[in-house]
Amino acid sequence: MSDHDFVSGSKPIGLERGEGVSLYTADGTDYLDAGASFACTPLGHSHPAVVDAVTEQVGNLTFVDSSFPVQSREDAYASLVAATPDGLDQAWFCNSGTESNEAALKFARSATGNSKIIAATRSFHGRTMGSLAATWKDKYKEPFEPLAGDVEFVPYGDSEELAAAVDDETAAVILEPIQGEGGINVPPQGYLETAREVTDEADAALIFDEVQTGMGRTGSMWACENVGVTPDILTTAKGLGNGLPVGAVAVADWIADGAASHNATFSGGPVVAAAVHATISTLVEEEWPTHAAEMGDYLTSELEDALGDEVREIRGEGLLIGLELKRGANRVARDLAINHQILALPAGRTVLRLLPPLVIDESEADQIVAALTEIIAPDAAEAES
Ligand SMILES: *Cc1c(COP(=O)(O)O)cnc(C)c1O
């Protein structure tokens, strides 16, 4: 962290190089990255396919605005739309997750002519004024009020409350198919289906925020595919450019046809577009979502065997894993980093979040399990050795 950065927290780990799931400091210490900086590098650090595509593009043509056809941008749109569920055939690129949700809310309002937004408790949709209004935590919101209005919160996972809240005045329901920042919360079976039914009945838009769950992390390209529910608007970002700053909104035709003017100068810039195309092509061609499903099952069952009753719950899908601890997650994450050179993330006070790059293998997963066993279940670790 720079001396001049008055916003970001600092970790005392100066990183210089990354490869696969490993990060290296200048003095050569290597860290196993089990957080991927919030799921931003699904293919692992500095993946050659992305590095090559970006390097070539930045040298050939770094930027022209989106009114000019550029091959890398055409390729990015084509690969994104091919990778999204059927029925989401139009897309728009932006620069981040919050901006993708900002756009989604605007598209939904203009396409429906309504303003009411239904969001869920413990949601996180970003920190610009519109997305922030649909985000749950007061701590993030209160200092900046008043925010955009007409947002109503319903308890995440409660189908009845959701059905009761949606009516003719509703522009959109916005949900994470699995909540990330809110603690890796998987909704009960039937919840996303209900969201689909009630928005259909009310002619409202269903927005799935897949900023964290997308790009293969949950074992399918998109978490909504695991339950077979297609939204009208799907937003994504984090892993989309394997670390380059890019977000996207994929929409159904009725949204595209009804959406009023919205754009951004850097939308689909040639360099980030090259990163998107390389990332999606590699994920799809090399079937990393399937690997994520297998490694997620492996890691989850190994953790369950090793930690058992020492944790309250292990939940998630694929390589989006949350451990509900019996103690503070921050201290466990710190212990993991300092004493085991493993980087993981807290999600709220008691949830430890594992979001490794999807390319993680069994021996790397074993390292995570062994380290967590030593920290959380030391008696079991002793018996093993
Ligand atoms: C991180 C995140 C966002 C915000 O993305 P930024 O790129 O930080 O603006 C929005 N929604 C979800 C689900 C996220 O995890």
- Taking the model in full, what pTM does it have? 0.97
Sign of the alpha-carbon torsion through 266, 268, 273, 275: positive
212 CB near ligand 1 (under 6 Å): yes
313 pLDDT more than 80: yes
48-285 CATH pick, 3.40.1400.10, 3.20.20.150, 3.40.640.10, 3.20.20.450: 3.40.640.10
- Atom number in ligand 1 closest to CA 39: 15
CA of 119 to the centre of ligand 1 (A): 15
Give the CATH number of domain 3-46+287-384: 3.90.1150.10
Report the length, in residues, of the chain. Answer: 385
Q: Which long-range contacts (CB under 8 A, 24 or more apart) does 57-66 make?
A: 57/270, 57/271, 57/273, 57/274, 58/271, 60/270, 61/270, 62/269, 62/270, 62/271, 63/266, 63/269, 63/270, 63/271, 64/270, 65/265, 65/267, 66/93, 66/263, 66/267, 66/268, 66/269
327 pLDDT more than 90: yes
Note the pLDDT tens digit of each residue in 266-281: 999 999 999 999 999 9
Residue type at 163? A
- Residue 370 near residue 302 (C-beta atoms within 8 A): no
User: How far apart, in whole angstroms, are the C-alpha atoms of residue 62 and residue 329?
Assistant: 41
176 CB near ligand 1 (under 6 Å): yes
Note the pLDDT tens digit of each residue in 93-144: 999 999 999 999 999 999 999 999 999 999 999 999 999 999 999 999 999 9
- Would you state the structure tokens that stand for residue 188, as one six-digit string? 């009960």
CA of 378 to the centre of ligand 1 (A): 35
Domain extent listing, the chain: 3-46+287-384, 48-285
Three-class secondary structure of residue 192 per DSSP: helix
- Atom number in ligand 1 closest to CA 99: 9
